[in-house]
Structure 1
Amino acid sequence: MPDSPRQLDTVAHAKETPERELPWAELGLKPDEYERIVEILGRRPTGAELAMYSVMWSEHCSYKSSKVHLKKFGELPQETPLGKTLAGIGENAGVIDIGQGYAVTFKVESHNHPSYVEPYQGAATGVGGIVRDILAMGARPVAVMDPLRFGPLDAPDTSRVLPGIVAGVGGYGNCLGLPNIGGEVVFDDTYLGNPLVNALCVGVLRHEDLHLAFASGVGNKVVLYGARTGGDGIGGVSVLASETFDADGPAKRPSVQVGDPFMEKLLIECTLELFAAKVVNGIQDLGGAGLSCATSELASAGDGGMHVELDTVPLRDPSLSPEEILMSESQERMMAVVEPEHLDAFMAICQKWDVEAVVVGEVTDGDHLVIDWHGETIVDVPPRSVAHDGPTYERPYARPDWQDALQADTAEQLPRPSTGEELGRQVVQVVTSPNLADKSWVTDQYDRYVQGNTVLAQPEDAGMVRVDESTHLGVAVSTDCNGRFAKLDPYAGAQLALAESFRNVAVSGALPLAVTDCLNFGSPEDPAVMWQFEQATHGLKDACAELGIPVTGGNVSFYNQTGETAILPTPVVGVLGVIEDVRQRVRQGFTRDGDHLLVLGDTREELSGGAWAHTVHGHLGGLPPAVDLAAEQALAAVVREAGRLGLLTSAHDLSDGGLAMALAEGSFAHGVGVQLQLDDDPFLQLFSESAARALLAVPEHHHDEVVQIAQEHGVTLTSVGRTGGCSFEVAGQFTIDVDDLRDAWRRTLPAALGPILEA
């Protein structure tokens, strides 16, 4: 509400009225947190200061329940197989060297709760926010990905949120002209009422174009540019992502931001020209916590002093109070620090792109962030206390009482098919299940090839884009997580998510370099959830250390539960790799008859948490597949070497659905069938989900070379048959027509969601 007719709560007024009650609890602060603010300031906060602390000290912005565990990622060597990380944890996004003077920045973040409240805008602004994080590093965004999770496909609420979320992801990304090259669509009961919308963006820059977020240089101007500030998104994701989500609670619709992708496209081009003109000293996007975040983070990362005239901020709604302006998370806004001699050039570029820009303050020689409203001071705070020195909780955590019983209930004890005919029926059941069925209902709404540099996109194992047209340098990216594995064993589950993403990048022909993560969990106030989180972060850190790749940044999303039902622990792991020549990429589909089908790696009796147990028996229990990171590295080396030498016609990782799913997807690509000889327990060979495995299709004249490469790297290589014909045939067991199976695989999502045009 506007500040009149009530008295403006200035710093001077706060000093004079220590007894005044402020709504700190309604803003999500705990009693001890409010007392700490009073201690920091030596007085009660003003309303504007309270607004800033409340959003910046929220779970989403401050990581107050997770940062004690995230510190372990900082212990990892910040180097990749190609050299030093150029920017890592703590920046808007990680930046890594990929050679030839190029660097790539990438990051994944969540927009879960806003996307449940307002599916289209929640998902759309999730894409917009992660794109601005990449832009703020000095990079041109070149691709996006979207790991998504929903309740059961046949649940009424899934038919409400899924179409809107998919339309939001596609609508915003398509309007920006960014190809959507990958992601996931997963269904599980625990995501009903709490879908997960994680968004990843990749950007490309030259080394010399790297920009960081800081405000230094006394007298330098602070410029706010982009869209005007409105009442949408007040508190926004800062509030929505920082409390238990309860459908019976107060309406949260006004907290969801509203996106304008056309404004964001102008903002991207304008910002890149500002960088090229070298008129920017420091820059910060306005995402979660809006102006509260941008001003405090820029000031605390720089010389420490900043003065802002809040009434100069361009508004869409002139009735907004100072508190609301500071808390608004309106989209498509950036803040830059500009030297006075460059200000005219800065403004001219903004005018060229029709992007509104206003000087709202300047860097000072003090150590406080001071914000005035119509000539009176309403904020006077140490900026680091807002941006970085928020509360840190060491939440209690404990292995849940039910974990032992869950792990003892193994899928290996479940009844298996007794005939070849029954085995064939179960192959069809798994292949056409919602989690493994064709996702083109989703991906057809995304532009996967805009800009003309997409090399691989869904349904391939990894997305790949060309970085340099002359040398054909490129990067590959994959995101993965099996939440069922993480429920059974969160330490191993996080490592398996990393291993699968690492493997997906490797089988495309790329060298994995770095990791970003989006750690989605239930309430941190639940000791069982915090145990899952501690185990997952510990597992991820240990696995990255063994693989020799850094975590360059990411996101934590807590409070993902409805009532007492927490989601499956879902540590989504993104891996980025480099390929020297994208023309050497390896696809997953079979292209011709007569190729040898070879399985790299060892197949063991590992069914727990897998697709067969989940789909056929509705079962979750036991221990997930064993993790063998040395085997993952060896497998990656085999596929990369064979791919570089042109010895493979296809390669596909073995993961969800095991060999059965990999064979089916390979056949669906071009209608090429498979003739298999599975003499040693066909059921286990088809449905085991042992890690560190891949399926290769190898021409007859390259077979011996591939065998030799596998032997040199100590990787088991097993022949399972040949490509050819028009059926999926396991000798002595069953025969399924490939076209019939593909048709059934394609029908699953449309049967539940209807035609895309009705989405």
Structure 2
Amino acid sequence: MLPAQDLALLRKTLGRDLTDVETACFENLWSEHCSYRSTKPLLRTLPTEGSEVLLGPGDDAAIVRFSDTCALAIGMESHNHPSYVDPYDGAATGVGGIVRDVLSMGARPIALMDPLYFGPLDSEKNRYLVEHIVAGIGGYGNCIGVPVVRGELVFDPSYAGNPLVNVVCVGIVDPDRYITARVKRPGSHLVLIGSSTGRDGLGGASFASRDLSEDAEAADRPSVQVGDPYTEKLLIDAILAMAKTGKVLSCRDLGAAGLAGASSEMASSFGAVIHADRVHLRETGMGPREIMLAESQERMLVEVAPEDVTLMGAIAEKYDLRWSDIGEVIDEPRYIVKFHGKTVADLPIDLLVGGAPLCAWEKRPYSAEKPFSRPTAPIKDLALAVLAHPDIAGKDWVYEQYDRDVQLRSVSLRHDAAVLRLEDKALVLSCGCNPRHIFLKPFEGTANAVVENASNLACLGADPLCIVDCLNFASPEHPETNWHLEQCVLGLGDAARKMAVPIVGGNVSLYNESDEFGTRIKPTPSLGMVGRGEVRAWATPAAGDLLALIGTTLPDYGGSVLDALTGCNGPAPAMADPAVVAVVRGLVREGRVTAATDLSRGGLLAALAKVAPCADVALAGDPLEELFSETYGRFLVAVSDESALAGVEHRVLGRVGGDALTLRLRDEAVVIAPEELDTALTSTTRTMRY
């Protein structure tokens, strides 16, 4: 429903009542999901420009130069509410939507990343959501031939009842031939290509702008789109063929708010007339409101000159796709919808697109950090519990559902970041954030998410090119949530400026909370970062290599995996100095280290289990701090000789080798045998499979 104050404002501005179609257009295009009415001023504070940025925020995807002959199209979106109501289709159509965003730029999609956030796995409902969301992502991505090369899985009680499904897509395009989503000239035609329009997804944009109620699964299921990846694959090929002709003036995906959203945003610099009765339909008896607002998937809108309409139609038919010539660009700032000759909507286009009044919610700072309470369990028990936590344990049960090598670009998909071969360079990708840290210190936690992703790239010698974000929060009407939101955006901008990495696009997803479970998600500004470097795979250290720690360890337990397991509390990490990232990047590039990984979730213990599951290390400090602290800006590196670290502040911990992970602590020696390590690291796999 359109809020009463918005309806009153529109009646006053227009001097009349609204038609049914007009009301539906404003209900969706003025929704939080489409208009960013709670966040627009904050988002303008982010750094968006850089030497390689060809097109920044505001289009379906950003364009960033990778080389003289290749540019990246990159975007990030959420599909949170639909994935709770219908996990398979919600997640699948989230993949389809972000792929079409990249496709609309004339780019070929080549890679996906999927940061996912769920409630605890001891709940049957959460296990069901995980299983079907992962299956939806894998099923859709595999069918369209775009590999999921990177992801993140976080489990926390705050996501019970409201999982987060964020997806990044990267595509490639000639830097001189990308397409934008803004119409170019009056008189051109708007051609709809792809699936027939049905009633699925009606009200999807407004549905995504409210919290989930107890009866969400039944009441909101009609708001969830149903995807068809086989049609999407045909659509990818058809749009790329159209783009190759050089005759597509602009292109836009039909996503939130359906045809009304795509056509009005596309034509906002001029104006448009849309003939709703010309749209090819899947169902009979559909009225103009349903036709304009349905969010049926696998549809694209292209602008072409009148004489090129037939050519586009012929290409569509070659790929067995339906098409309709459904509108014209006009040189008058009006958005007009006709149905069988009758005008059912006639609006100032700048009022519909971009005219939503901003919301100014109250902000209330808070402090959630509590004093540290030392766990009393034996160190080995704590270590095995941390390694078995689903945030740390192996993710093969997810990855094995994805075809990660399709398109034959994958070089290395293990551990810190994904490496794809692109021309003669490496495209390196990372994603995610740590919501538990961010909940305790929103500014610092979000800044550290930038540092953490850049650290993942540094471990493979790559420089960051750009960031995309998905800002997931509960309702901004809660003063604490609104303060979270402000602090996170400011922290994101601060770190991006310090590291000179532009933020080129993203998405805001609010009202992520559940009446059914009584939960609000922790602030989750999930990031996607891409970088460029030389082609190299993640390396395993050799037996006999020295293990060294770069960076300073502090007693940062708050928000750690140890805290999640024991409730030990303690301070969350302060913002890391990003200078150490450049140091490690240089070591990797110069070949001075045989392996490198940054320390993040699970601290040094998790890094050792990943890099050197058989090693002998000596830790003289507080065992809890040494093993479980999650201070950022630290790296575990392996070297054949300590002289390789000359000039770099470091601490040698021990050597790779032996038949177990031996931790020589100040008061005891803890030995974790390979079978114990394997049991811990496969715990989540067993939970999900059995």
1:605, 1:217 → 2: CA distance? Answer: 61
Equivalent position of 1:363 in the other structure: 329
**Match of residue 510, structure 2, among 530, 536, 558:** 558
Counterparts of 1:298-317 in structure 2 under 5 Å?
298-300=266-268, 302=269, 304-317=270-283
Equivalent position of 2:529 in the other structure: 575
More off after superposition, 477-486 vs 112-121: 477-486
Equivalent position of 1:242 in the other structure: 209
- Write out per-residue CA displacement over residues 242-290 of structure 1, whole angstroms, 9 at most, x where no aligned residue: 1121114661111100000111111111111111111200111001111
- Write out per-residue CA displacement over residues 454-489 of structure 1, whole angstroms, 9 at most, x where no aligned residue: 1222x4211221111xxx212112112111111111
Equivalent position of 1:275 in the other structure: 243
Equivalent position of 2:371 in the other structure: 410
2:33, 2:141 → 1: CA distance? Answer: 24
Query: Aligned letter for 1:751?
Result: R
Query: Aligned letter for 1:241?
Result: A
More off after superposition, 255-264 vs 492-501: 492-501
**Match of residue 632, structure 2, among 680, 688, 691:** 691
Quick check: 1:480–1:498 contact (8 Å CA) kept in 2?
A: no
Query: Aligned letter for 2:636?
Result: L
1:292, 1:114 → 2: CA distance? Answer: 20
- Write out per-residue CA displacement over residues 77-106 of structure 1, whole angstroms, 9 at most, x where no aligned residue: 501xxx241111111112211223321122
Counterparts of 1:621-660 in structure 2 under 5 Å?
621-628=569-576, 631-632=577-578, 634-660=579-605
Quick check: 2:118–2:160 contact (8 Å CA) kept in 1?
A: yes
Equivalent position of 2:6 in the other structure: 33
**Match of residue 425, structure 1, among 381, 385, 396:** 381
Counterparts of 1:284-433 in structure 2 under 5 Å?
284-300=252-268, 302=269, 304-400=270-366, 403=367, 406-407=368-369, 409-411=370-372, 413-415=373-375, 422-433=378-389
Quick check: 1:509–1:586 contact (8 Å CA) kept in 2?
A: no
Matched, 1:597 2:547: yes
Matched, 1:227 2:200: no
- Write out per-residue CA displacement over residues 170-200 of structure 1, whole angstroms, 9 at most, x where no aligned residue: 0000111111111111111111111111111
Q: Give the 3 Å change call, closer, same or farther, for CA 393–60 of structure 1 in structure 2.
A: same
2:583, 2:41 → 1: CA distance? Answer: 38
**Number of residue-to-residue matches in the alignment:** 685
Matched, 1:462 2:417: yes
Q: Measure how far apart 1:746 and its partner are.
A: 4.0
Quick check: 1:297–1:384 contact (8 Å CA) kept in 2?
A: no
Q: Measure how far apart 1:690 and its partner are.
A: 1.1
Quick check: 1:488–1:622 contact (8 Å CA) kept in 2?
A: no
Quick check: 1:423–1:734 contact (8 Å CA) kept in 2?
A: no
RMSD: 1.6
Quick check: 2:388–2:684 contact (8 Å CA) kept in 1?
A: no
2:346, 2:676 → 1: CA distance? Answer: 66
The DSSP-based 3-state class of the residue aligned with 2:355 is coil
Matched, 1:526 2:478: yes
1:484, 1:339 → 2: CA distance? Answer: 52
Where do 5+ consecutive residues of structure 1 fail to align?
1-26, 711-715
The DSSP-based 3-state class of the residue aligned with 1:627 is coil
More off after superposition, 478-487 vs 740-749: 740-749
Query: Aligned letter for 2:557?
Result: L
2:609, 2:225 → 1: CA distance? Answer: 41
More off after superposition, 643-652 vs 354-363: 643-652
1:555, 1:356 → 2: CA distance? Answer: 30
The DSSP-based 3-state class of the residue aligned with 1:143 is strand
2:27, 2:634 → 1: CA distance? Answer: 48
2:609, 2:478 → 1: CA distance? Answer: 41
Equivalent position of 1:57 in the other structure: 30
Equivalent position of 1:618 in the other structure: 567
Query: Aligned letter for 1:473?
Result: K
Quick check: 1:475–1:577 contact (8 Å CA) kept in 2?
A: yes
More off after superposition, 48-57 vs 211-220: 211-220
Query: Aligned letter for 1:597?
Result: L
Equivalent position of 1:149 in the other structure: 117
Quick check: 1:136–1:212 contact (8 Å CA) kept in 2?
A: yes
Equivalent position of 1:730 in the other structure: 663
1:92, 1:738 → 2: CA distance? Answer: 50
Q: Measure how far apart 1:346 and its partner are.
A: 1.8
- Write out per-residue CA displacement over residues 328-381 of structure 1, whole angstroms, 9 at most, x where no aligned residue: 011000000001232232222212211212110111222212111001111111
Counterparts of 1:463-542 in structure 2 under 5 Å?
463-468=418-423, 472-542=424-494
- Write out per-residue CA displacement over residues 662-701 of structure 1, whole angstroms, 9 at most, x where no aligned residue: 0001235xxxx1111212333321111111011111123x
Query: Aligned letter for 1:324?
Result: E
Quick check: 1:727–1:735 contact (8 Å CA) kept in 2?
A: no
1:748, 1:578 → 2: CA distance? Answer: 35
1:391, 1:738 → 2: CA distance? Answer: 61
2:555, 2:490 → 1: CA distance? Answer: 26
The DSSP-based 3-state class of the residue aligned with 2:653 is strand
1:530, 1:51 → 2: CA distance? Answer: 28
**Match of residue 47, structure 1, among 6, 17, 20:** 20
2:14, 2:249 → 1: CA distance? Answer: 30
Query: Aligned letter for 1:430?
Result: V
More off after superposition, 92-101 vs 685-694: 92-101
Length-normalised TM-score, structure 1: 0.88
Q: Measure how far apart 1:452 and its partner are.
A: 0.9
The DSSP-based 3-state class of the residue aligned with 1:72 is coil
Length-normalised TM-score, structure 2: 0.96
**Match of residue 197, structure 1, among 161, 165, 182:** 165
Query: Aligned letter for 1:134?
Result: V
Q: Measure how far apart 1:155 and its partner are.
A: 0.6
1:706, 1:748 → 2: CA distance? Answer: 37
1:571, 1:39 → 2: CA distance? Answer: 38
Equivalent position of 1:78 in the other structure: 49
Q: Measure how far apart 1:738 and its partner are.
A: 4.5
Where do 5+ consecutive residues of structure 2 fail to align?
none
Q: Measure how far apart 1:626 and its partner are.
A: 1.4
1:133, 1:60 → 2: CA distance? Answer: 16
1:260, 1:129 → 2: CA distance? Answer: 11
Equivalent position of 1:706 in the other structure: 645
Counterparts of 1:77-96 in structure 2 under 5 Å?
78-79=49-50, 83-96=51-64
Quick check: 1:134–1:202 contact (8 Å CA) kept in 2?
A: yes
The DSSP-based 3-state class of the residue aligned with 1:208 is coil
